Amino acid sequence: MATVTQMKCACEPCLCIVDISKAIQKDGQYYCSEGCASGHGDNSKGCGHTGCNCH
């Protein structure tokens, strides 16, 4: 059985793949940045990663 070490950021429109050992974990989900983990509560767009304009 393979161990999963990477998965898509849990922020729905985010395109990032995160290494779960380095991801921000919140409510059992894995996120690539604080903005995504907070649900972009400050109305920020993007997560700081090139080419990603999640919100």
Using DSSP, state whether 36 is helix, strand or coil. helix
Task: Give the HSE-up count for residue 27: Cα atoms under 13 Å, Cβ half-sphere.
Answer: 6
Using DSSP, state whether 16 is helix, strand or coil. coil
Render each residue's pLDDT in the chain as its tens digit; 55 residues: 788 899 999 999 999 999 999 999 999 999 999 999 999 987 778 898 988 999 8
The full set of domains in the chain, from first to last, is: 1-55 (2.30.170.10)
Q: What is the mean pLDDT of the chain?
A: 92
Answer yes or no: are the C-beta atoms of 54 and 13 closer than 8 Å.
Answer: yes
Task: Tell me the whole-structure pTM to 2 decimals.
Answer: 0.86
Please write the tens of the pLDDT for every residue from 39-53.
998 777 889 898 899
pLDDT at 28: 95
Residue type, 37: A
